[in-house]
Amino acid sequence: MTNPAAPHLTHLPDSADTLRALAAVIAQRRAADPGKSYVAKLVHKGLDSMLKKVGEEATEVVIAAKDGDREQVVYEMADLWFHSLIVLSQFDLGPDDVLAELRRREGLSGLQEFAQRSQPPQG
């Protein structure tokens, strides 16, 4: 199935590919002219500004969800993921680092993981 907006793509990239491609663009745009790149402008402002945007976008996700507005939830979540990728890039991290952590958690119930935290180390 091809995407009419991107006929050159014979298949829609999977989500991880999209995140990886965006992370690569962010890495490249960090060094761009802040007057011509939103990423470079935010990086130039520094970590506190990046974190402020993550907080703002997370709040906008909350508001969209409270409104039950599914399209707006997607729009604001895209903003949140984008700004989260910028924060990851600040620590030379990327989507694969987070995906590896999520894979590590597979099969372990969140309730079980939480209960284990209060257990004294075995042995």
Ligand X SMILES: N=c1c2ncn([C@@H]3O[C@H](COP(=O)(O)OP(=O)(O)OP(=O)(O)O)[C@@H](O)[C@H]3O)c2ncn1[C@@H]1O[C@H](COP(=O)(O)O)[C@@H](O)[C@H]1O
With a CB cutoff of 8 Å and minimum separation 6, the contacts of 42 are 49, 50, 53, 83, 86
Angstrom distance (rounded) from CA 34 to CA 40 = 5
Residue 29 sits in the site that holds ligand X (CB under 6 A): yes
Q: Which is nearer to ligand X, 77 or 99 (CB)?
A: 77
Residue 25 sits in the site that holds ligand X (CB under 6 A): yes
Q: Which is nearer to ligand X, 17 or 113 (CB)?
A: 17
C-beta neighbour count of 103 within 10 angstroms? 10
Q: Which listed range, 4-12, 32-40, 89-97, 106-114, lies at the site for ligand X (CB under 6 A)? A: 32-40
Q: Which listed range, 21-29, 64-72, 97-105, 113-121, lies at the site for ligand X (CB under 6 A)? A: 21-29
Closest CA to 79 of 99, 101, 57: 57
Angstrom distance (rounded) from CA 11 to CA 5 = 12
Name which position in 27, 79, 96, 99 contacts ligand X (CB under 6 A): 79
Closest CA to 13 of 25, 22, 80: 22
What mask of x and - would describe binding to ligand X in positions 40 to 69, judged by CB under 6 A? x---------------x---x---------
